[in-house]
């Protein structure tokens, strides 16, 4: 089911993959993996806000952001790279019924630099993300991800397909 756009019109029916990045793409530890996925025309990335909401407002801010986001198609698969982004992932999962969550788990480095309160919150989000994820993919070595299953699923969901993708245009299937 497509969500209405800004002016009440239906969003295009093209399937999309969404990457929830924990930072800007440049310098992100899995930048090469994210860039490889972004080379797929129907995959887009969301970088976090530059302003970090206080802890007591994070869930409300994420819910509001999840409702306000508009996409040039129908989100079908969401890739979560960091547990800190889980509140936004949860909001998007609530707003888009067909959306699947895939979690690329690299939480160890995130926990090393966090305060005790942040570590507790990150562990909780990590547990929730693993519980809601269709599949969890581990990071191998420093920055490699075995994503064959993810790419197969992107193909199954029609995110990877031979038709041209022009945002705002509806291509016809033959």
In a domain, 128, yes or no: yes
Q: Decide: 113 and 84 in contact? Cβ < 8 Å.
A: no
For residue 165, what are its two tokens? 């993708």
For residue 124, what are its two tokens? 């909780």
Instruction: Dump pLDDT digits (tens) for 120-137.
Output: 888 899 999 999 999 999
In a domain, 8, yes or no: no
Q: Decide: 103 and 65 in contact? Cβ < 8 Å.
A: no
Instruction: Dump pLDDT digits (tens) for 60-108.
Output: 667 677 777 888 899 999 999 999 899 999 999 998 989 999 999 875 5
Look at the chain and report how many structural domains it folds into: 1
Q: State how far the Cα of 32 lies from the Cα of 21, in Å rounded to an integer.
A: 12
Nearest CA-CA partner of 143 in 22, 29, 63, 46: 29
DSSP tag of 84: G
Which residue range is the domain that position 136 belongs to?
Answer: 15-156
In a domain, 3, yes or no: no
**Banded model confidence at residue 55, pLDDT cuts 50, 70, 90:** low
Q: Decide: 14 and 74 in contact? Cβ < 8 Å.
A: yes
In a domain, 105, yes or no: yes
More confident residue, 151 or 61: 151
Helices assigned H by DSSP within the chain: 31-38, 58-68, 86-95, 107-112, 116-132, 148-156
Q: Taking the model in full, what pTM does it have?
A: 0.81
3-state secondary structure of 17: strand
In a domain, 132, yes or no: yes
**Banded model confidence at residue 4, pLDDT cuts 50, 70, 90:** very low
In a domain, 165, yes or no: no
Per cent of the chain over pLDDT 70 is: 75
Instruction: Dump pLDDT digits (tens) for 7-27.
Output: 455 556 899 999 999 888 998
Q: Decide: 32 and 5 in contact? Cβ < 8 Å.
A: no
In a domain, 44, yes or no: yes
For residue 60, what are its two tokens? 């409300």
Q: Decide: 2 and 13 in contact? Cβ < 8 Å.
A: yes
**Banded model confidence at residue 1, pLDDT cuts 50, 70, 90:** very low
In a domain, 9, yes or no: no
Give the CATH number for residue 23: 3.40.50
């Amino acid at each position: 089911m497509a969500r209405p756009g800004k002016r009440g019109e239906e969003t295009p029916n093209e399937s999309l993959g969404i990457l929830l990045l924990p930072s800007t793409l440049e310098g992100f530890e899995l930048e090469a993996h994210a860039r490889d996925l972004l080379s797929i025309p129907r995959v887009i990335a969301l970088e976090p806000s530059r302003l970090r909401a206080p802890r007591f407002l994070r869930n409300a801010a994420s819910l509001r952001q999840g409702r306000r986001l508009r996409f040039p198609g129908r989100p079908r698969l969401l890739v979560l790279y960091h547990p800190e982004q889980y509140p936004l992932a949860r909001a998007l999962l609530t707003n888009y019924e067909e959306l699947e969550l895939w979690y690329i788990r690299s939480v160890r480095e995130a926990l090393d630099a966090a305060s005790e309160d942040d570590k507790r919150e990150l562990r909780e989000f990590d547990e929730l993300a693993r519980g809601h994820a269709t599949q969890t993919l581990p990071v191998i070595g420093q920055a490699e991800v075995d994503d064959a299953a993810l790419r197969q699923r992107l193909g199954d969901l029609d995110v990877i397909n031979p038709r041209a993708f022009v945002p705002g245009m509806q291509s016809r299937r033959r």
